[in-house]
Amino acid sequence: MEHLSLKESAYRIIKEKLLNLEYEPGSRIREDLLAQEISMSRTPVREAINQLSAEGFVNNIPRKGVFAIELTPEEIGDLLDVREPLEMLAIEKCIKKISEEHISALENNIKEFEAALLAEDFKTCNVLDSKFHLEITAVSNNKKLIEFIKEIEDFMQIARGIEKKTNPKMKNELTLQEHKNILEAIKNRDVEAAKEAIKINIRTMKANLGLLSSGQE
C-alpha cells in the first residue's frame, strides 16, 4: 500500500479538484477554507499549493492570494499543437507493441465512457478521456514520451472541462465516436488511419474552441 505524506495527500486532493474544475478558472482558493475542507492543517496545504504553483496549476499572487489557473482558447491551442506530434509518435509505437491485454483495457475504457455518458456524468467522461490517451501512450514503453504526454494531459483535462462546459452531451458523444475510431484503427494495426483519427480528435477540440479558420473546418 502506498504511503503518502500529508503534503503529498494534500497535493493529490487539491490537484484532482483543479483538474475536475471544482474551482472555477480564475477563482480564488482560500488556504484556510481548503484546509478545513480536506481536514488538514494549513502547513501541508500551503506546501501543496506551492508545488501546484510551480507546476502552473495555480497562480500564487503576493498580497492577493491563490487563484485557479485560467486557460485561454489560445493557450489550449498551444497545448494541442505540442500534443499532436507527441501523440503521432505514441500511436505509432502503440500499434507496434500493443497486446490483446492493452486492447482490452482500451475497450473497457470505452465501455466506462459509454456508461458515464448515459448517466450524464461528464466529469467522469473527462477523466476517462485523458485515461484513454494515457493508455495508448503507456504501451510505447518510452519513459520520456509518457512523462511529456502525462504533463500535457493534466492540463488537457482542465482544457476539456472548459471546452465541454456548453453542450457537454453532444461533445462527449462525438469524443466517444472518435475514440472508437482510434481503437478500430489500432486493432487493424493501421498506423495511418490511427494517426488521422487522432488528428480529427484534436481538430474537433480546436473547432469547439473556435480555433480553426473556415478553411480548416
Predicted local distance difference test score (pLDDT) of residue 59: 95
51-102 residue pLDDT tens? 999 999 999 999 999 999 999 989 999 999 999 999 999 999 999 999 999 9
Which residue blocks in the chain are alpha helix, DSSP H? 6-19, 31-37, 42-55, 73-97, 100-118, 122-140, 143-163, 168-187, 191-208
- What fold characterizes domain 6-68? Arc Repressor Mutant, subunit A (1.10.10)
Domain with CATH 1.20.120.530 in the chain: 73-208
Domain with CATH 1.10.10.10 in the chain: 6-68
pTM, to two decimals: 0.90
Distance CA 97, CA 104 (A): 14
- What fold characterizes domain 73-208? Four Helix Bundle (Hemerythrin (Met), subunit A) (1.20.120)
Residue with cell 480548416: 216
Q: What is the mean pLDDT of the chain?
A: 93
Q: Are 48 and 42 in contact (CB under 8 A)?
A: no
Confidence class for position 216, pLDDT limits 50, 70, 90? low
